[in-house]
Every structure is written in C-alpha cells, then in structure tokens.
Amino acid sequence: MKPSLNRKVQLALGSVILTFLVGGAISYRSTIVASESDRLVRHTHEVLERLQDLLSAMRSIESSYRGFALTGKESYLESYRSSILSAQQNEVAVGQLTMDNLKQQRQQQALERLAAQQIQFGEMAIRLRQTRGLDEAANAIRSGSGERIMDEFQGEVREMQNEELRLLAVRDKDAARRSRQTKTALFVLTLLGLLIAAIASWIVHREIYGHGLAREALRDSEERYRVLLDEIEGYAIFMMDPLGQIVTWNAGAERIKGYRADQIIGRNFSCFFPPEDIEQGRPEEILRMTAARGRHEEQGMRVRKDGSRFLASVRFTALRDAAGNLRGFSESSHDLSESKESGAKYRGLLEAAPDAMVVVNQTGEIVLLNLQAEKLFGYHRDELIRQKVKNIIPEGFAERLIADGTRTAAEALAQQIGTGIELTGRRKDGSEFPIEIMLSPLSNSEGILVTAAIRDITERKRSEYLLVRTAAELKRSNDELQQFAYVASHDLQEPLRMVASYTQLLAQRYQGRLDSDADEFIAFVTDGCNRMQGLIQDLLTYSRAGTNERELREISCEHALKDALANLRATIKESGAVVTHDSLPTITTDQTQLSQVFQNLVGNAIKYRSADAPRIHVSVAKNGGKEQIFSVRDNGLGIDPQYFERIFILFQRLHGRVEFKGTGIGLAICKKIVERLGGRIWVESQPKEGSTFYFALPKTEER
C-alpha cells in the first residue's frame, strides 16, 4: 500500500525537525568548544603576564641588592624585600597556572631554583656591604655570579613564554579548524533541511492537487451514476471506499437490503453478511480478492436490515484512478429468490416438476421450494423458507451436505448426486412417511446450493411390502406343492402298489378257480389301479415340469425336435406318420423342456389322427418380432374352437378313454413349460381340418 498524504507530510516534517536538531547540536558543541578556546587563550596570556611580572621582580631584586651594595641606602633594601615578595607571588601563580603541563612545571622548578640562587647571592652581597663594606660587596658583584643567574633566569622565562605561545598557536589553529567544520556542517544541514522541506512541500502540493482532481472526477461520475442507478430497482448498486465503507446507495439497494441511504452510508458493507461469514472474515476476503483480480462474482447468503436472509448474486468491481491507485469498490447484487428473470424461470421449472422440489443451502436452510413440496409436507411456503430442512427431513439430508474428516463438502455432495436416497419425511402435523430424494447441485460458482427432488414413496413401499409378502407366500405354497409331489410319489403309490400287486397275484394264482364274476371284478380292480398309477405319474411329471432350474443355454431347436422324434420313433413307425420341419433356429432355452413340448405336440398330432396317414409339419414363423413362434401343424381330427381353452387344462379330455388312451396331461405340461420359459401357447383348428399348435418363446436380447 502507498503511504497516505498525512503520512508523507509527517515524514517530511519529521525529517526537517531532525535536520535542525542535528544542526543545533553541532552549534551548541561548537559554542562550548569556542568558549574553551577563549579560556585557554586567557590562560596563556595570564601565564605570559605572570612570567613577565616574575622576570621584572627578579630584575628589580638584582638592581636592588646592587644598589644597596654600591650605596648602602636603606631604600634599596626595602625595594629588594618587596621585589622578593612580588617574585614569590608570581612564582606561585605560574606554578599553579602550569599545573597541567609537565614541561612548564619542570621549567618553573628551574625558575624557582634560579630565583633562590639569586636571592641567596643578593643576601650575601647585602651582608658583605653591611659587614665588610663597599669594596668587598662590589668585588662580589663584579665576580658576575648574580648577573649570570639573571641571564639564565631570563632565558628560562623566555623559553616558558615561547612554550605558552606555541601552545596558544596550536590551540588557535585547532579552534579555527573546529570553527570551519562547524560552519560547513551547519551549512550542509541547512541545505538538507531546505531540500527536504522543498521536497515535502512539492509532494504535499502534488497530492493535494491530484487528490482534488480525483475527487472531482469521482464526484462527477458519482453524480452520473446516482441518476442512472436510482432508476434501477432490481439491483442493489453501491460504492465503497477501499476499506468497505459504503459511500453511495441506490434505490434498488434500499429495496433489496432494507436500509435507507442515510442509515447505511458510512457503515461497513460487512453488515450484509451472515454472522458466520463475518466470523470467517469473508467480507475482507472478498475485498482482497476483488482488489487483486479487479472483480469478483459469487452467489451467497446475505442479510437484510430486518435480519432475514436471502440468496444473492453479487458482483464486486475494484475502482482505480488513472495512476492505478485503489479508490474503492462497487457492488451490484440482486436477490436470486425474487429475481424477475432467471429466478422466475427457475421457479417456473421447479413448479413444473412432478416431484416436490426443495433447494437447500449448505447450512441446511431451505432457500426455495415448489407447490408440490408445500402440499407434500403440509406447510405454507412462508413457513419453510429460511427454515432448517431438518424440520421436514429429520435425518439423512442435512448431514449429507456437510464435509466430514475425509471429504470436503463438495466431494460429499458429489457422492450423493444422481442416486436415490430413501429417507423419512415429516409433515407439519408430525406424521412421518417414506420418501426418496435425488440431489443435484444448483448451477452455482461455489456449488453451495443443492436441489432435492423429493418423492413420496408410501405407495411404493406398501407395494414392495406386499410384493415381498406375496413372494414369501408363493414360495411357501410352492414348497408345499413340491412336498405334495413327493408325498404323492411315495406315500400314495405305496398302498396303490399293494392293491395292484396283490390283485395281480390273486389273478395269477386263482384264475379260473373263482367264478367269472370274480375274474371280471379283479380285472376292474387291476384296471383302476393302473389308471390311478398313470394319473399319479402324470401328476408328478406335471408338478416337476418347468421346475428344474436348469441353466438356460443356447441350443439348436432342431436338436430338441430330433430328441423328441427319437422318443416317438415307435409311435411314428406304427402310425406311418410323416414328420417334416423347416430349418429351426438356435435359441437360448432349456433343451430338455423344449424337446418335451415337441414330443407332446407331435405325439398328440399322431394320436388324434384322422383316417389319413398323419402328416405333421413343424415350422417357425418369420415375423415373430420379439418372440420366436413355433408351430406344429397336422392333418388330424381337428378341435372345435369352443374347446381351445379347455384342452390345456390338467386332466381335461375331449375324448373317452376307450377311443384314446391318456390322462389329459400332455398339453397341460406343454402350457406349463412354455409359460415357465416366458412364452405362451395356443391352437388354431377346425374339426376335421387338422390343427396347428403354436407356441411362442421370448427371443433373447441381441448381444
């Protein structure tokens, strides 16, 4: 982010102040240094003066004791004594002033020594003058000792003065250098300060001027927008500053969101979001995304002023000035649930659906529903919109929309789509009923809405239950029938065998030994037994027909027919029948059972023949459609159409036993087998014109 104008101004001001503070510090330091320099100069001058005074005092001492020695005047002696005092004072002063200089201290000690020697010499000259007189004193002075000390003293003083002057020169030079540096530093700092101030003022000027322009431009466009936007009522359109504070508001926004302009301008746009979104930082995230990409579109839940929620389609656009600086955002949104265009279409679609339809968001709230859903659950629309879907589907639906540990919400949903889920629905009156729901995602960029088609499957469940119960009953009755067949095959036959066998034994052993009535009765008993046995055998055959769950295989129908004809070989030979057939197809069925059908039909054709030699033709119809239709045509007795149904019923016979043997089971068995194979059987015939028996088997699906 760029620094704001304020920040820039603060920065510039700070820089200038800092510059002058540094300058001040340098000045202060330079003043301190200068005053120190002054002090040192004064010090040097003091030392020089004191040295000069000391030298004068020493000269005065010399001239005084000389004067006394020559003249003996007491005034010289007084001058001598005061000069010694003055020399001593100056000596001490010089000693103190040069305390900080080792070299001067040593010189000063030499001065003290020489001064002491001079005073000693002076004292000696004075004493000589007083005790020995002028000559002695004059001689002593002339020896030149005093003069030599004085010269030496004077040399030392000169040296110390020179040293002080040298130090002064060094210090002066140093002070001058510092003074120059200070001046340079102050000059540079002043320049720097001026420069910063100039730059800052230029920036501030530019900012204020530029901002003013931008603001003006913005105001212009705002004005244009406001006029335009206020005419749009279907869309909430408003602008925000870069932080999301609302700066404009149109009539559509007022209508959709429920706030008047004066209630919302200045507030942050996050107030349109549900609390859970705010918690997750969704508003900030949207601004961030919009700023980064220039625009952002989404569908999501929004909150009105009254707290109610609605599904909105929202578009954000970042507003930037010519320089690319972010000036703010615009948002345009509309309420999807009331949208006059797509919403109406969508609702139209919902209403047209035969099933109850409910649109749910990912928090499990109902967003939309159709009339069928209202009816199904017994609620009015308003009672369900924005309510939890759990109210109408207590379990199994809302849970499916939620991500768990291993799946994201989208994945969780994807797994459910397109598959019927059986759940329980709850009506307003609390009654529950079975439902089946199908989920599909609503076209939505974030995939957060789910359309659920809900179907009441009460009837289906009831049918399923009935079907299961009927199937169970059927199985039980079938099992009983099987059991009956077994009972018939064993338990019924046993006593019958006894009757038959012992009647025969009687007949064999007592034939002719009883009267003729007895023989006749025995014959009837035997015949009855035989027929009974035949019936039981046929019944067994019938009950077993079609029950053998052999695997259906692809077989040649010609083979099946050949097997049948082989079994009938004796009958065919005896009757002189001619059996012909078309080329028969290959079908998927049970060969043994198909063969049984052919055998029974061909056998019947021979059995119920007319006076002519039987001619039998087996063929297959070409236009069977989904069925394979076989026919067995004969030139036999023919059948009166009124018996077409009856002949297929178990043990129903059209002829007396004397004319034709048989129990009347052949066609019943054929019917049972054909029907077990999924087909049907019928006959076309006229008496004396022969019969054609047809049977149709389903064609297996082409692979």
Q: Write out the residues near other proteins by the rule CB under 8 A.
A: 486, 489-490, 493-494, 496-498, 500-502, 504-505, 508, 530, 533
C-beta of 595: minimal distance to other proteins in Å?
17
| Pairing, β 432-441 against β 421-426 | antiparallel
Residue 596 C-beta: closest distance to other proteins, Å? 15
Q: How far is the CB of 540 from other proteins (least distance, A)?
A: 8
Residue (179 or 547) nearer to other proteins, CB: 547
Using the minimum distance from each CB to other proteins, give the nearer residue, 503 or 635: 503
CB under 8 A, 24+ apart: contacts of 355-358: 355/453, 355/454, 355/455, 356/453, 356/454, 356/455, 356/456, 357/451, 357/452, 357/453, 357/454, 358/384, 358/389, 358/392, 358/451, 358/452, 358/454
Please, what is the minimum distance in Å from the beta carbon of residue 509 to other proteins? 10
CB of 490 to other proteins, least distance (A): 5
C-alpha closest to that of 454 among 348, 387, 354: 354
Q: How far is the CB of 527 from other proteins (least distance, A)?
A: 12
Closest to other proteins by CB, 541 vs 652, is: 541
Strand order in the sheet with 615-620: 578-581, 615-620, 627-633, 691-698, 680-685
C-alpha radius of gyration, the chain, whole number:
69
If we measure between CA atoms, which residue out of 513, 373, 377, 358 comes closest to residue 439? 358
Is 78 or 491 the residue whose CB approaches other proteins more closely?
Answer: 491
Q: How far is the CB of 567 from other proteins (least distance, A)?
A: 17
Q: How far is the CB of 485 from other proteins (least distance, A)?
A: 9
Which of 71/592 has CB closer to other proteins?
592
Cβ proximity to other proteins, 41 vs 496, nearer residue: 496
Complex with other proteins: residue 247 or 485, whichever CB lies closer: 485
Give the Cα separation of 233 and 334 in Å (integer). 9
- The two tokens of residue 698 are 């389903």
- Is the Cβ of residue 215 or residue 550 nearer to other proteins in the bound state? 550
Residues 6+ apart with CB under 8 A from 437: 393, 397, 420, 421, 423, 452, 453, 454, 455
What is the distance between the alpha carbons of residues 576 and 369, in angstroms, rounded to a whole number? 80
Element spanning 2, H or E: none
Q: With respect to other proteins, which residue has the nearer C-beta, 11 or 536?
A: 536
Nearer to other proteins, 465 or 510 (CB): 510
Q: What b/e string do you get for 4-39 counting C-beta neighbours within 10 Å, with b at 16 or more?
A: eeeebbeebeebbeebeebbeebeeebeebeeebee
3-state secondary structure of 677: coil
CB of 505 to other proteins, least distance (A): 6
Tokens encoding 575: 């009757």
**What is the rounded distance in angstroms from the CA atom of residue 213 to the CA atom of residue 322?**
11
How many Å apart are CA 106 and CA 98, to the nearest integer?
10
Q: Shortest Cβ distance from residue 482 to other proteins (Å)? A: 11
What is the Cα–Cα distance from 152 to 107, expressed in whole angstroms? 12
Query: Sheet of 432-441: strands edge to edge?
Result: 366-369, 356-361, 449-456, 432-441, 421-426
Residue 703: exposure state from Cβ atoms within 10 A (0-12, 13-18, ≥19):
exposed
Report, in Å, the least distance between residue 668 CB and other proteins.
Answer: 20
Residue 459 tokens read as 């009837």
The nearer residue to other proteins, 202 or 484, going by C-beta atoms, is: 484
